[in-house]
Structure 1
Amino acid sequence: MHTLLVIVILTLVDEGYLQKSCPDCLFEICDTNYGICLAGCKEPKWGKYCHIDCPEYCADCYQNSGECSKCHQGKWGKNCERLCPELCLNQECYQTNGSCVRCQSGSWGQRCENLCSDFCLNSTCDINSSKCLNGCEKGRYGDNCNLWCSPGCFDDICLQTGTCISGCKELFYGNQCDKRCSSNCQPSDCHKQTGMCVSCQIGFYGNFCTSICPNCINSTCDKRDGYCIHGCESEWSGYKCDVRKISSISKTNVALVISICSGVVVAVFILIFILRKGGRIWWPRSNRLKFTSSQESDGSTLERTPEISGHYEAPSDVTSQIDHGYTSII
């Protein structure tokens, strides 16, 4: 917009409507009749005719009000009467609030009133966040370089993120070399990113060599799945030698138990047989024998009429007697 105004004014000058004879006016152009500066004033002047000096510390001021539009270095405020903070780099600060444009080395904050971390490289940090801008001193990391690099970092050097620059020392792995390889790795080192063991010490298997080879001869098994390479120790079997064999003593004990049980069963059956043939057997009242008698001239005889179920036949010399609701046969 200002450029367009200048072009218009210059055109009017060429046409003779404006004169070019006002020394304090911008481009020395003013109104022919009244001498009013139409394009503005040269620094540091203000007023219609640009005949008034701007305040002492103004590098420039507004034509109509005389308020400072720009301050001399080291000043700020409406009339540039106030000093910029001492630690502002080159004494430069914003006119509106006096905050520093940049800070001197080693300080940060709106007025550079705070100190950067002692571990910032070159003592340089961001003016707003205090983050170290050029990295950290050796052995340190973090936004403010207040953290130590992992002791697993080779040469104790890491990036500001904590990632080890030169890799990990032996026994350590991970981006920050802050994790230890398994003590069962053989050799003791491991993959620097994953931590997986290259091989395992005798007696262990798995990616991190944390599983124990079970009952293998010489405690030797395949690193991948625990297969016993040289076979199993006595009394053990299976792919991983984790199944216990049944010993000969155990087999003998089992056979002995079976024999004893069989003998007991046979003895019970024999006892039952003897009791049914010659012993006393109790029959329920509902199944007892019913007898009728007939008188003959030479004596009395018993005639039996069995009404019992089953195949038992009482001897010819049976007698019946009632005992507690049961018939006893002897």
Structure 2
Amino acid sequence: MTYGENCALKCGFCLAGLGCDTVSGACAEGCDTGYQGFYCNEKCMAMTYGENCALKCGHCLTGSGCDSVSGACAEGCDPGYQGFYCNEICNNKTFGRNCSGICGHCRNDTACVPFSGSCDSGCEAGYKGLTCTETCGLCRENTDCDQFNGTCLNGCQDGYQGEICNETCNIGYYGEDCHLRCYEHCAESTSMTMTTCHHVTGECLIGCKDGWIGKHCETACFNGTFGKNCAWKCNEWCAGESQKCDPRDGLCINGCIPGFSGSHCNMYCDQGSYGERCLKSCEKCFLKDCHHITGHCAHSEPLCEDGYRGEKCDKECEPCTFGPDCRYNCSNQCFNGKCILESKDIKDDTSQRDNKEFFEDFLPIIGGVVSPFLIILTIITAYRIGKCCKRPKRRPHN
């Protein structure tokens, strides 16, 4: 395996180790795989390999070249290629170095560019970015957005806003293009960062203001209810039909039924008044007090003031009568139905006449009861006197 003067030179890499010409050093059958040149002592040039360096290397990483003998890429394949010789393009929707990447959501389910992962056909609806792996904002009806800046081409879904539709509506708004205001009867939050209604549906998030119910707090309390969640009943003494009080605070809308007062109709009329709005007076009652509804005077003796009569003391005395409850008669001093004397004189005269009439009426009765007792008493007295005064008979002398 030597040649030249004194056989001092070593043959190159002749094919199959057959040796070289002993004079010139040329390999008679050519070079071994991976070598080239007259003496077969030169490795294949970069990016070639094999017998006579006739084969071209595959897509070795960053052009690093392959093994001159086997053709294997020492540092692996460029992105988008695979296989022993790095000459096979990635398949099955993979890409990148060693085909380890998975293609994104390319339009029409096509494969991506094997070395970059980009979608030449564009992205499916709802996706964006070079590799179509980023989701668009909440575009209306999940339609397309710009593949590179993410702008929704047909606007945002209800409840969202912004160029890429990833922002919820401002506080107090909801719905399509965030143009709708939350219902005015939604309860208000004490937090400045919390909206009163859901940004999509408009439903009130923390309930309703007093007097309202429903998902959107659009229905006022009814059937005689009021307050938070319409949980309270209007006072039964509120006047009117059906909804008798303010749905927010229970104030009686139509006032009170006769006999009651106050904004909620929860108080009786003050003493001395009764009836509708407590405007009627019972001042002619002797005690200045009466039933708050009927006006009937509180029980007393007498019931009414001078000159009045009836359960409510609202009737004047009939002709020729006067005094408390009209109990006195002035027929002897009456002219055209009116008493002539002062009421005091008539009362005194009436009182004297009443006493006289009493004795005239009851004297015969007294006499009839007392007389028999007097007669019996007289007989008993006479008998005792006679018995005491009667002398005893003397005995005859012997």
Larger radius of gyration: 2
Q: Which structure dedicates a bigger proportion of its chain to strand?
A: 1
Tell me the TM-score normalised to structure 1 length. 0.36
Higher relative contact order (CA 8 A, sep 6+): 1
Tell me the TM-score normalised to structure 2 length. 0.31
